[in-house]
Structure 1
Amino acid sequence: MGIIKYIEREDAEIFIFDNFIINQVKEGVVVEPEHNDLLNKIVQKHFSGKDMVYISNRVKSYSVNPLIYPKTEAIPNLVAIAMIPKTATMRKNAEYERQFYDKPYEIFDSLTDAISWVQSHLGKRETSEVK
């Protein structure tokens, strides 16, 4: 489960692994629906035809327009989102955002817990698809 690629952008750091992405948005950014265009390009380039999960490692303070989620949900092979909020306020924001996303969306206390859930979630999906 080694890192495949690292992308440094003005607004975020993106770590691409075999079956998930870890995104760390930078301080003060406002995440808008247009951010999905880049996410979709990355997903299609690195995960074409393969289920994957988006992990948001919220270590900095930034804002998310919840209208981003319907467009995120439309990315075909993005099957779930995991959030790791750093503070209680960030956790409340993540809980609020959850209502805008209809696929699996979980909130974790650590990156380790989120990655474990990703592996378990994707494993269960593969098992159910085989049946």
Structure 2
Amino acid sequence: MSHELKYPFGNVTIHDNYVIAVMNEGITVTPELNDVLEDISEQFFTNKNFVYITHRINSYAVDPNIYFRTSKIQNLVGFAVVTGKKIVIDNTELESVFLTKPFKAFSKLDDAIIWANALCK
């Protein structure tokens, strides 16, 4: 299963065990955008675990308060950040403090996908 959703803030691709989000350049990810993730959880992953993968191709800001709501999505079993930039990987350490789910940074998308599939087994 692969299904692409387009939003004003970016694109989300749905797969069997995970979603991959690519946010638009310059946006700020706020807690209000978490409504979209909650809707995706309900629509595509009813009674099924999944992992959220954010592929940080573009530069954008994240309000860490979003993770308090993200942590409440019961069937979300992991959160991955994919980036090739060391400074972004360093920033994810701060972000991980706000999330109560497994949180991991990767430099390659394929590695994040392997991790996501393993978490969902």
Q: TM-score, structure 1 length as denominator? A: 0.89
Note the C-alpha offset of 1:60: 0.4
What is the Cα-based RMSD across aligned positions, in Å? 0.9
Q: Judge which range, 79-88 or 45-54, deviates more.
A: 79-88
Asked if 1 retains the 8 angstrom alpha-carbon contact of 2:34 and 2:70, the reply is yes
Q: 5+ residue gaps in structure 2?
A: none
Counterpart of 2:114 in structure 1 is: 116
> Which has the higher relative contact order, 1 or 2, with Cα contacts under 8 A spaced 6 or more apart?
2
Q: 5+ residue gaps in structure 1?
A: 124-131
Asked if 1 retains the 8 angstrom alpha-carbon contact of 2:77 and 2:119, the reply is no
Counterpart of 2:55 in structure 1 is: 57
Q: How many residues align?
A: 121
Runs of 4+ in 1 over 6 A off after TM superposition: none
Asked if 2 retains the 8 angstrom alpha-carbon contact of 1:85 and 1:94, the reply is no
Counterpart of 1:71 in structure 2 is: 69
Counterpart of 1:29 in structure 2 is: 27
Note the C-alpha offset of 1:89: 1.7
2:31 aligned counterpart, secondary structure:
coil
Match of 1:107 among 91, 101, 105: 105
- 2-structure distance, mates of 1:109, 1:85: 5
Counterpart of 2:80 in structure 1 is: 82
1:114 aligned counterpart, secondary structure:
helix
Note the C-alpha offset of 1:86: 2.9
Greater per-residue helix proportion: 1
- 1-structure distance, mates of 2:119, 2:5: 25
- State, as a whole percentage, how many aligned pairs show the same letter: 36
* Larger-gyration structure (1/2): 1
